[in-house]
Structure 1
Amino acid sequence: MMSPRSTKFLWILQLLVIGNVPLVFSSVKPYPLSWNTTHDFGYDGPWHAIPLRIGRPEQTINLYPGGSWASVVLGTHIQDAWGNEYPNQDWLKGSEVWDASLSAPQRSGSSQNNNIAQANRGGVSGSIDGNWGGQVAMNMTGLGVQITDRVYFYTPDNGIAIPNSTLSVLASANMTYPDGKVVPLDMGFLSLGAREAQRWDPYVGNVIPDYLSINGYTPSSSWSLHIGSAVMGIPGSLIFGGYDSTRVIGDIGTYDTTDGFGGMFTELVDVQLGVASGSGSPWSFQNKTNLLQDAGSKTQVITTRMNPTVPYIFLPNRTCQLLAENLPVTWRWDLGLYTWNTEDPQYERILNSPAYIKFVFNRPAGASPIEIRVPFALFNLTLTQPIVDRPTQYFPCRPFQNNGAEYHLGRAFLQAAFLGMNWVTSKWWLAQAPGPLGLASSIVVISNSTETITTSAPSSFWTDSWKGILTSLPIDGNPSSSGSSFQPSSAGNGTESKGALSSGAIAGIAVGASVGGVLILGMLFFFWRTRRTRFTKQIPSPTVSQAQPSIPANTSTDAQKYELPDRQPVAYELMSREQY
């Protein structure tokens, strides 16, 4: 005779099976995604991307993170519900394209069609921009079809499969530049979720963060993102169910998202030019404010949207002009962008110095504004074919007359900014992100009730994270003869300082110090240095395995892909929890 405890266990087990509640035996934890470590991408980058394996047999497609609901994928051989194939444009060589004809719509032994790759859900059109407004900003046209299929993404301790993941597969997608040149999209977007799954009766299309939370993988339907910089060697960070607190520096802006699509809107109140403390300036000033102006040269406040699905920084024309007046750039009307005059000595002075553009945003509830500094080193981006005939360095401020549309702050800005969102509480976060030098990763859980997040790094750490990377300037704006890197600021709030000690003064202090003082200073310096580490040598959080799966790269390459150092490939088995 069974004991009451055994009977109760069987009753619970039966309830789970009949109720189709997933049995989850592993720990609930945040899941950081692995990024492509062999290639960077983009006609206008280079940018980091995340590999995603789609369908059966699996095809690896690299995607930029961003957008809501369906992930956007360039496709071929896409059919509607009646088996009619959509007219498909010719994608450029090296583009990240998924062949829908290779994905089996149904597998033997399955009582339910869990991986429908070829059925248009009742004629539902797919988004071509990830639903975050990039279509208008980038002047995009195209055709997408809404489908579902199994997807699999890499994590440091192996990977996770998502059945019936909602996808917007594009038969065509093009951007038109001011001179009329039509440029095909080169890559799609990895969705960052939605409040719930998409439904087209009787079908359900899973969205990744929601699925992970409901099925007991992550503690909440949430995400955090720092796209990093391919140019400066800052790796990307995308975590579902948590965030890396060392990617968050200083003050944090907490905002509401209420549009149902995860729109991240905030008021931009000023754009400024500045130089980190401890360095001279490449200009005749240390700081210039009130550059956010309208056509009548009046200061203004604009609503901006954080959007990693677009490459540029879309600002009023007058603001881009005021910035350009202080830079060695040339306006290219055919591109709608400024290109760097790389032969001008000021080009290297500015890009190698700790000079930056500061973006000042309002925060709700009367909190002081939040400031995001983007050093010019991150603005040394490159246009390649088919946008231009030969590689061209450009400055990513794009004059934009919004006419009721949104001003977007795209990937160029987000190289220096942290974003996060909790779909459950409808809160999102904005903060300063670090440079190439960083602290060891510290992953923090985002729970279903999380409305605020914290940081492991004070405001002064932003300067530390660029120390040794950027070169300080004397007051006259020329590089110092010693080529010394600029020193960390002692100011906790990151404000500029004009009173840095000279090297002679520092030497005098050192000579006059006692032997005991020198020893103490040396010990402190050694301790401080050993605690610092580059991102490439981070020690993962205990919740994340140190093993990094090798990311398979497409065999074809072209001008917009950038080779990174080779890595020894490692084979990994798929997780046993995959669903079919």
Structure 2
Amino acid sequence: MPSFVHQMLLLPSALLALSVSHAIGAGHEARQSSATTVPAPISISPDENWDGIDGAWSSFTLRVGTPQQIVRTLVSFTAYQTWLVLPEGCDAAASQSSCAQSRGGVFNESASSTFDRIGIYDLWIERNLGYDGNAIYGNDTVGLGGIGENGPTLQDTIVGGFAVDDFYLGVFGVNPKPTNFSSFNEPSPSYMTLLKEQKYIPSISAAYTAGAQYRFTGVLASLTLGGYDASKFVANDVEFAFAADNERNTVVAIQSIVTPSQIESSPVGTELLPTPVYAFIDNTVPQIWLPLEACLAFEAEFGLVYDNATELYLVNSTLHQDLTTRNPNITFTLGQGLSGGSTVQIELPYAAFDLTAQSPYQDLANTTYYFPLRRAANDTQYTLGRTFLQEAYFSVNWDTARFNVSQCSWDQDAQQRLVALPSVSENESSSSGTPNQSSYSYSSSKLGAGAIAGIVVGAIAAIALLACLAFFLRRRKSRAAKAKAAEQEKLGDDEIDVTVTPPTVTPPRQEPTVFEKAELPGSSPLPPANRRDSDSRLLSSSHGSGVPGTPGTLGAPSTLGYFGRGGSASASPTTPSNGEGTHSSSQSGSGNGTHSILSPLSPSNASEADSKEHHIYEMPGDMPTIKEKDGKLLSEKEAIAHRERIYNGVDSAPTSALAVNEGVREPRRVSPEDVVQADTNAGGGELSSIMHRAFSFEENRKDDSPDSDELYE
């Protein structure tokens, strides 16, 4: 019997283990089957044009509207909308057709039956660099690639049409931030977010290189959505975390910029960056913006001359020939911090800086060579633009808030190798979003719904068996006790074992433990006065209204605390939070770009004045300060009557009798019959004298005084 009981006790554990193993196995099968549904990255083929008035840039074709209108755009990792040139952008051109061609084609929103106009709003981005303008925004259909390329087509995406020259070509924004036109509670999703939600791409990530017209016969740009192309770069182990400012999050530290010395016997290169700085990688703009000290070092090393009228480094034919013959390399050393740590080096040949600018760029009259270096007014302008990305491969994973910068690989025979970057929702254990990942990870320590259900069923079965076993053992013990009592009853009282039962002591009644309900922390709302919400106001001119305000701080990145603590990943853009949007800062309730999680009503958020008792003050003018003619102050009752008359419109002045009883002098008056006209010739052209009889207090006079009926002026 004991062995039988022991086996019964082991049975629930065996059943529970069996159910758990079955559930875990089912979870693995579910994950393996779901792996086949993960979409592959999308490689967007560039067109074969080199567009731009600030250099020759490889562009990408979009199909917009119904019927489809074909336009060419540049890619922007900062923009989160699609911007297109309107026909009005060529109204001032001598040849509108030539202008439209040079601007990559124009988009006529009135000719699209699917364009749903929203209104006119600021373009907003790049204002720190002096770019400005506005656009007519609406929802329309946008497809990637030219006709017949089978690129994804999305409906109801945000499209802005502009006519200003600051952005000469259209812009295809791949940043996943939503757009808030009227309410932060109803944001319009970005194109990248829609691609992820509609399962076109595995994650909200993108990789890009600008292409290089000077390489071979011209190497076109490369754009991959949802992953990267492993054949385009030289892999490294350096990954960067997003910076705190969500408007300038892909920030790197430029630790040095070096070019080989012109002295052949000197192995030490020339340092072109006197002090390390933080810079924003932004392919929306063409040039490299550096501090003035660095620009002066470039001038001294390469003989550059700054043109104050255009604010460009124009290069004449003689200098161009000298620099082409010299062909210096310029190497950028990038790191997460201003010194130390892992670094990556990006080397640019002089050909990457050998650009051509033409009218109307910077009000140029003629086409000219120029060196794409710009003087930054402050550290909010330090930027690495498309010039830098001709030789660098840039990969960003917004799901994990990580990015990578690698040296481009120039292998004409390399075959395209697309690699998907993971999404946080599908691989929470992933901490890297860099191109170093060679495969998509599906490992997960969480149990699925089937696993949980199996464990629950096994636990219920184990509990039921334990209950049955306990009932069996209790019944058996009860039978044994009854048999023993019957046996003792047959014996005499002498042999009965009498046990004295101690008195039962009832323990004091305890009140049940009550746990106080925890107050859920509320998020602190963003201050509306500091929010740069350009999408919430209409513009009256092509250069915007100039109304300030954004939650994102455009202030200088400092050497300490500029990057998020520990490089923690931000929330996935697929589910944008309130307050996040056109200028969200994620918001930016504090200097590090984060919000307070305390309730706005909690004592921690209350100001000092809110925690004190409010004082009561008399309103000005409550107590009248007027006095009677003879200097007697008004009584309290007269003051109250004055207040009633001023504030409540109630005339509660005391009657004459009451005034006498209260010791208040009756008002002095002159009756109309006591006033006489001294001069009856009132029409003689001079003012007549008005005479009156003596006041009441003047009647009792001395004997030498005039008669009381005497008239006075």
- The TM-score bracket by the shorter chain reads 0.5 to 0.7
In the alignment, residue 173 of structure 1 is paired with which amino acid? V
Q: Superposed, which structure 2 residues align to 1:114-133 within 5 Å?
A: 116-120=115-119, 125-128=121-124, 131=125
- Partner residue, 2:176: 194
- Partner residue, 2:241: 256
**Greater per-residue helix proportion:** 2
* Paired residues of 2:257 and 2:331 also in contact (CA < 8 A): yes
SS of 1:173's partner is: coil
Normalised TM-score (structure 1) = 0.60
In the alignment, residue 112 of structure 2 is paired with which amino acid? S
| Higher Rg of the two aligned structures | 2
- Given the alignment, which residue of 407, 411, 433 partners 2:408? 433
Q: Superposed, which structure 2 residues align to 1:57-206 within 5 Å?
A: 57-66=67-76, 67-76=78-87, 92-93=99-100, 94-96=102-104, 97-105=106-114, 116-120=115-119, 125-128=121-124, 131=125, 134-137=126-129, 139-154=130-145, 158-170=150-162, 172-175=163-166, 185-195=167-177, 205-206=188-189
Note the C-alpha offset of 1:325: 1.9
SS of 2:238's partner is: strand
- The change in CA–CA distance for 1:361 and 1:35 in structure 2 (over 3 A counts) is same
Note the C-alpha offset of 1:256: 2.3
Q: Is 1:375 the counterpart of 2:349 in the alignment? A: yes
C-alpha distance in 1 between matches for 2:263 and 2:73:
37
Q: How many residues align?
A: 381
C-alpha distance in 2 between matches for 1:284 and 1:99:
61
- The change in CA–CA distance for 1:310 and 1:282 in structure 2 (over 3 A counts) is farther
SS of 1:411's partner is: coil
Note the C-alpha offset of 1:310: 0.7
CA RMSD of aligned residues (A): 3.2
Note the C-alpha offset of 1:51: 0.9
Q: Is 1:271 the counterpart of 2:238 in the alignment? A: no
C-alpha distance in 2 between matches for 1:438 and 1:304:
34
Note the C-alpha offset of 1:88: 8.3
C-alpha distance in 2 between matches for 1:284 and 1:146:
60
SS of 2:132's partner is: strand
- Partner residue, 1:291: 272
SS of 1:348's partner is: helix
- The change in CA–CA distance for 1:190 and 1:454 in structure 2 (over 3 A counts) is closer
C-alpha distance in 1 between matches for 2:411 and 2:366:
28
Q: Superposed, which structure 2 residues align to 1:332-351 within 5 Å?
A: 332-344=307-319, 346-351=322-327
* Paired residues of 2:177 and 2:189 also in contact (CA < 8 A): no
Higher relative contact order (CA 8 A, sep 6+): 1
- Given the alignment, which residue of 329, 340, 353 partners 2:304? 329
C-alpha distance in 1 between matches for 2:169 and 2:288:
19
C-alpha distance in 2 between matches for 1:195 and 1:262:
12
Tell me whether 249-258 or 219-228 shows the greater mean CA deviation.
249-258
In the alignment, residue 214 of structure 1 is paired with which amino acid? E
- The change in CA–CA distance for 1:284 and 1:348 in structure 2 (over 3 A counts) is farther
- The change in CA–CA distance for 1:283 and 1:317 in structure 2 (over 3 A counts) is farther
- Given the alignment, which residue of 379, 390, 393 partners 2:369? 393
In the alignment, residue 249 of structure 1 is paired with which amino acid? V
Q: Deviations over 1:394-447 (max 9, x none)?
A: 111112222x52311111111111111112112122121234746322111111
Normalised TM-score (structure 2) = 0.49
- Partner residue, 2:358: 384
Q: Deviations over 1:194-226 (max 9, x none)?
A: 155767679763422221211111111111111
- The change in CA–CA distance for 1:187 and 1:287 in structure 2 (over 3 A counts) is farther
* Paired residues of 1:71 and 1:166 also in contact (CA < 8 A): yes
- Partner residue, 2:389: 414
Q: Deviations over 1:513-543 (max 9, x none)?
A: xxxxxxxxxxxxxxxxxxxxxxxxxxxxxxx
Note the C-alpha offset of 1:117: 3.1
Could you tell me which runs of 5 or more consecutive residues in structure 1 were left unpaired when the two chains were aligned: 1-24, 79-86, 106-115, 176-184, 276-280, 294-299, 458-580
Q: Deviations over 1:378-406 (max 9, x none)?
A: 1111112223333311111112222x523
C-alpha distance in 1 between matches for 2:91 and 2:246:
31
SS of 1:359's partner is: strand
Note the C-alpha offset of 1:454: 4.0
C-alpha distance in 1 between matches for 2:437 and 2:40:
19
* Paired residues of 2:118 and 2:138 also in contact (CA < 8 A): yes
- The change in CA–CA distance for 1:260 and 1:315 in structure 2 (over 3 A counts) is closer
* Paired residues of 1:218 and 1:240 also in contact (CA < 8 A): yes
SS of 1:118's partner is: strand
Note the C-alpha offset of 1:73: 2.0
SS of 2:128's partner is: helix
